[in-house]
Amino acid sequence: MSPPFSAEGELAGYIAQFLARTIELGKERTVELNRNQYFFLGIVIILMGLQLRMVSSYVLNQEATKFLAERTQASTSNTSMVSFTSDIGVLPNKVINPPEWLGWCLISVGSVLILHSMAMKRPGG
């Protein structure tokens, strides 16, 4: 099977033509979300909210705990503990307790997105 372009010049020309067609000079292109995308986004956000409502706490593994400890500067005592325990290699696993309102908030936002998608016109119609 031969390549679709025999020379680099042809490939560069094709890319230039493609970019000229897709990028309108002087105008920015914006992506508009259609009905199906709003509906899908609403479903995903509702499911995330339901997960936050069903699970009371999340325990991070050793790699995530170490990553979080290196990136956050909570206090000097924690950073000295992190530097001491990073030499040993064992950190206590971080436990995240999301607030109750966060799950309800995500469920509400997802519901509004689904209702908004139902009020929009059908794609192509």
In sequence order, the 6+-apart residues with CB closer than 8 A to the CB of 16 are none
Distance CA 124, CA 44 (A): 24
Question: pLDDT tens string for the chain (125 positions)?
Answer: 445 545 555 666 667 666 666 655 556 667 778 899 999 999 999 999 999 999 999 999 988 888 888 888 654 445 555 555 555 567 788 899 999 999 999 999 999 999 999 998 887 76
Q: What are the domain boundaries of the chain?
A: 61-96
The answer to whether the pTM exceeds 0.85 is no
Q: Which two tokens stand for residue 88?
A: 């040993």
